[in-house]
Amino acid sequence: MKSTFRIGAVLGLLACVALAAIAMPHAQVLSLMPDMATPDSGLAMVGFGGLILNRGNMQMLTQAFNGAFKTGMALKKPMWNEIAMEVPSTTSEEKYAWLGMTTKFREWIGDRVYQNLKQHDYTIRNKDWEDTVSVKRNAIMDDQYGVYNPLMMQLGQDAALHPDELVFGLIAAGFSSTCYDGQYFFDTDHPVGPNENPVSVSNFQGGSGTAWYLLDTSNVMKPIIYQNREPYQFKSKTSWDDDNVFDRNEFVFGANARSNVGFGLWQLAYASKQTLDVTNYAAARAAQMSLKSDSGKPLAVKPNVLLVPPALEKTALDLVQAERLANGQDNTMRNTARVVVCAWL
């Protein structure tokens, strides 16, 4: 009986609304139920199927999309932190005057000896990054919001992998981009030694083929700096007062961040465009491990990463993982480095 009574009451209410629609203008009918007709009200709107676009539902939808964004970020493991050091930033730019400084212990006899460390003017300026998509309001209202979950997850994956693009892209640009000493990052004449009498030192083996790289990532300092000002965050514009909703009938979702990358120590990276074989690989390792500081002491660099593009993956794996070389001889370079393959090179 109670159920029958409730159904009858609802039907009676709808009948009254229908009669009112005949007897008076549409605007006056809506005025009978202002809370139910206002999109920003906390109550559900009258509708026949589909998502009711009130403020509460839009907040829940944004939270759901934000969750999908975070899920997408967690699904991908970036590689940038394998070769770059993250440095927090608090301003629009950061100056790295200490780049190139080397310190060594000595026996303490008499007074301390204050090491004369070079000062450099290497500055990394932060950049703004964004990734934005728009969704038609009607698609959300027609219950198609579930279709957009994968898109929001893709935004998250984009955010997770964007630093890879920046970091490894900078490595690839190292043949034509300067580092803290004013030379190209990969160059044949880095000045090393006293300011009045420096010598030229190379971290580039030469050649004209596909580039490959040796990196020492075992130190606190790294070859690349990832400067983080604002982490990647999910954003939305879904208010009925936003221009995108009013003018184009669209909701806007996206992510933004503020960061940049720069070169760290060139001594920790060695590049070659020679054929990747055991002879050139061994020579590159020997050259990098022989590098010395401005004071003439060994830097004790020991490359532990062989960084290659996809085209050299098999060659690199054979070089440092195979027990024997193609000629049957023992592979003396086996396990001397870990292969990292990156498409951004």
Average of pLDDT values for 153-175?
Answer: 97
Angstrom CA distances, 12 to 47, 48, 80, 205, 255, stand at 17, 17, 65, 87, 48
Give the residue among 261, 267, 229, 236 at the shortest CA–CA distance from 251: 236
Note the pLDDT tens digit of each residue in 264-305.
999 999 999 999 999 999 999 999 999 998 888 999 999 999
Please give the pLDDT value at position 276: 98
**Domain boundary assignment for the chain:** 2-32, 55-341
Q: Flag whether pLDDT at 41 surpasses 70.
A: no
Query: Sorting pLDDT into bands at 50, 70 and 90, what band is 45?
Result: very low
Residues 55, 60, 64: CA angle, nearest 5 degrees: 145
End-to-end alpha carbon distance in the chain? 74
Note the pLDDT tens digit of each residue in 202-251.
999 999 999 999 999 999 999 999 999 999 999 988 766 766 666 667 88
Output Rg (C-alpha) for the chain, integer angstroms.
31
Q: For 285, phi and psi rounded to 5 degrees?
A: -60, -45
Number of H helices, E strands in the chain: 9, 13
